[in-house]
Amino acid sequence: MDNMAEKPQDVAILEQLKQGIARFELVSSPVSSISSSESVTRSFPFSLNGGHPLFAKIGPVLGSPALRKAEHYTVQKVTGDGRCLFRALAKGMASNRGIPLRPFEEKNDADDLRMAVKEVICDNGKERRQYEAALIAITVEESLERYCQRIQRPDFWGGESELLVLSKLCKQPIIVYIPEHEHAIGWRGSSFIPIAEYGAEFKGGVGKPKKPVRLLYSSRNHYDLLV
């Protein structure tokens, strides 16, 4: 993996994985490398627990943003203190239940979500195996030991790996968006393009379908909430 980080294109892929705007998919055979201005798909071989070889396919979940239809929401700003992904998710889940969070509750809930990921990935080897895609996303960039040291810090930035874990752990559908015209000068619109989805299997559960939490990712490496 060291050679991968030396290539500008692969540095961009790692950044997308880190920030949660690209993701891994486990496949049984390699895929061709596809590169465009909108998306990159790569595959890397590995094995888990000495089993059959698998491949980690990297790419945007919902395809090219240019092919996605814009949706309209209102942005609820989230404090940018390093907890923004966890804050936005905590705020969104509470909002879906009709529960407003006071600032200290939002902060505490955000830290609880971060530590829940730590407990699953770092403290429980048996449970960790249920989150193979998250483990791959983590270890493609750094050692698990280093990750487990960093995630204990309150200013730890969440991204792809944490979304993979928390969507499953909380049984919560999560959709990540980008602004439709993020780079337009002076843009103040309300149109957003979905680029990744997590926990889609929890949308149509028994009884009342679970409402997704919609997160807005900006080029400032920041997450806000869309409502």
pLDDT digits (tens, 9 = 90+) for 56-66: 555 545 655 55
C-alpha span between 214 and 227 (Å, rounded)? 7
Quick check: 172 and 202 in contact, CB under 8 A? Answer: yes
Instruction: Give residue-wise pLDDT tens across range 53-94.
Output: 444 555 545 655 555 688 999 999 999 999 999 999 999 999
Quick check: 135 and 128 in contact, CB under 8 A? Answer: yes
In the chain, count H helices and then E strands: 8, 10
The pTM assigned to this predicted structure is 0.72
Could you tell me the maximum CA-CA distance found in the chain, to the nearest angstrom? Answer: 53
pLDDT of residue 4: 36
Instruction: Give residue-wise pLDDT tens across range 161-206.
Output: 999 999 999 999 999 999 987 655 555 668 999 999 999 999 876 6
Instruction: Give residue-wise pLDDT tens across range 117-141.
Output: 999 999 988 889 999 999 999 999 8
Quick check: 78 and 91 in contact, CB under 8 A? Answer: yes
Cα dihedral 120, 47, 41, 4 sign: positive
Class for the domain spanning 71-226: alpha beta
Nearest to 113 by CA among 143, 154, 146, 149: 154
- Active-site positions read 81, 84, 222
Among 15-24, 64-73, 94-103, the range scoring the smallest mean pLDDT is: 15-24
Please report, for the chain, the start and end positions of each structural domain, with discontinuous segments joined by +.
71-226
